[in-house]
Amino acid sequence: MSEPSFLPEARAFRLRNARVPAAFLTGGVPAGAPLDGDGCALIDIVVADGAFAGLLPAGGSPEALPAADLAGRQVWPRLVDAHTHLDKGHTVARTPNPDGDFPGARGATTADRTRYWDAEDLRRRMAFGLACAWAHGTGAIRTHLDSQESAGEGALRDQAATTWAVFREMRTAWAGRIALQGVGLTPIDAYATDYGRRLADLIADSDGLIGGVTRPTGGLHGGALAEIDALLDRLFDLARERNRDVDLHIDETGDPAATSLDAVARATLRHGYEGRVTCGHCCSLALQPDAQAAATIARVAQAGIRIVTLPTVNMYLQDRQRGRTPRWRGVAPVQELMAAGVPVAVAGDNCRDAFYAYGDHDMLDTFRAAVRILHLDHPLAGAPALAGPVPGEMMGLPHAGTIRVGGPADLILLPARSLNEVVARSHAGRIVVVAGRPIAARLPPYEALTGEAAPW
Ligand SMILES: Nc1ccnc(=O)[nH]1
């Protein structure tokens, strides 16, 4: 990630012969630009004052401007990670998940949160995660923030206040580098209580989104349909009163009886909240009978709900039993959702915590894994949309995850010519460009988490 000698220092310059997936060119592929078999256009990019000033077919940019010739290498926008948990990150060493499954993750997280999560601990781990994301070339992140009421003397209320205060501090500190959004995460039952109303106020005061985890309606976890409808009504009322969008954790289980996605779609329509709701996970949808899943997907499309799939974490947590090889990848039926016109984004979710032991806040890595896990290939042409323009639109950020005239010249320059070469390698040698300049940042060493000196 060193400064490339070939990027001109001028106020205005050209990147010649850049190969850009058409999925990122949301203002349209420049007329006359040749497209390869994977839907990538060969173009010249004009940058002026840190923004995209022109996109032209290769060879069409003004000769007078200084230029760097990318010789047909891939140029991507900075990517968008629309579902993360920065507050939990990098806790795996001190509080491991004993079984690697979902109940183990919840138990270990509660233990870790109760024991360690003061402002300083949150600040150190969140800053580390953001520094990783920055160096890898992520331009926008939405993070869920554990906000449930804690047991004991006001402790729960204090946790949410502490966490959201650190989040607001981080959002200010990183403004101009990474756009941050926060979502409250609590069992949705909380919104029926006095605590829930105070939490909704805290979220609104922090310019965040109302969120939570719906309980599966029946099956493993019990709970009646009428009850979830009433709880969702309460949640949507609180959101509407505060003019907040909604982002929920939905049906993250292999139990096909978990059908809260359909309940959320019905609630969205009931409350006129079309276009303002995002649902993450939706794993059980993949295991329901085809006709039932199709009916739910149709209602999700009608309600203008966006779906976020978290393939690395779902594959890790779902269908896990000690001594038995998993038979299911754990993911939502993404191809069927997209075929019905539902916007689907891919995101990283957890990073080195009880819900997922691995990860590095690298959206390019998440994208590459998503291609493999979800079969987003043959052809690859549509896949980049899930990591750029779709989550950017989901976050309400008009230019994030796109290369279009007027947007900030934020790019990832990849030592790869085709989409196959992008997906095949991990690309430690990428160059991240922000506002037209390469950033010098390197990945933070793990020693930064513990305050030790790095040997090199
Ligand atoms: N997959 C997840 C569910 C709930 N909380 C998390 O942090 N992650």
- Per-residue pLDDT reduced to its tens digit, 305-327: 999 999 999 999 999 999 999 99
> Cα of 87 to ligand 1 centre, how many Å?
11
355 lines ligand 1 (CB under 6 A): yes
350 lines ligand 1 (CB under 6 A): yes
Give tens-digit pLDDT for 62-87.
999 999 999 999 999 999 999 999 99
Enumerate domains of the chain plus CATH numbers.
12-77+402-438 (2.30.40.10), 79-394 (3.20.20.140)
356 lines ligand 1 (CB under 6 A): no
Give tens-digit pLDDT for 142-198.
999 999 887 655 444 489 999 999 999 999 999 999 999 999 999 999 999 999 999
Q: What is the mean pLDDT of the chain?
A: 95
- Probe residue for ligand 1, chosen from 81, 83, 84, 85 as the CB with the greatest number of ligand atoms within 8 Å: 85
What number of residues does the chain have? 456
Q: Looking at this predicted complex, what is its ipTM?
A: 0.97
The Cα-based distances of 158 to 72, 161, 180, 181, 255 in angstroms read 53, 5, 22, 20, 34
Determine the average pLDDT of the residues in 250-261.
Answer: 96
Determine the average pLDDT of the residues in 282-289.
Answer: 98
Determine the Cα–Cα distance for residues 272 and 7; give it in Å rounded to an integer: 49
* pLDDT surpasses 90 at 297: yes
Minimum-distance ligand 1 atom for the alpha carbon of 355: 8
Specify which residues 44 forms β-bridges with.
56
> Cα of 113 to ligand 1 centre, how many Å?
13
251 lines ligand 1 (CB under 6 A): no
Give tens-digit pLDDT for 85-140.
999 999 999 999 999 999 999 999 999 999 999 999 999 999 999 999 999 999 99
Q: Give catalytic residues, as residue numbers.
A: 252
The Cα-based distances of 254 to 60, 288, 295, 331, 441 in angstroms read 53, 10, 19, 9, 40
Angle of helix 225-241 relative to helix 260-270, nearest 10 degrees?
Answer: 40
> Cα of 295 to ligand 1 centre, how many Å?
27
Determine the Cα–Cα distance for residues 280 and 305; give it in Å rounded to an integer: 10
pLDDT, residue 336, reads: 98
pLDDT, residue 245, reads: 98
252 lines ligand 1 (CB under 6 A): yes
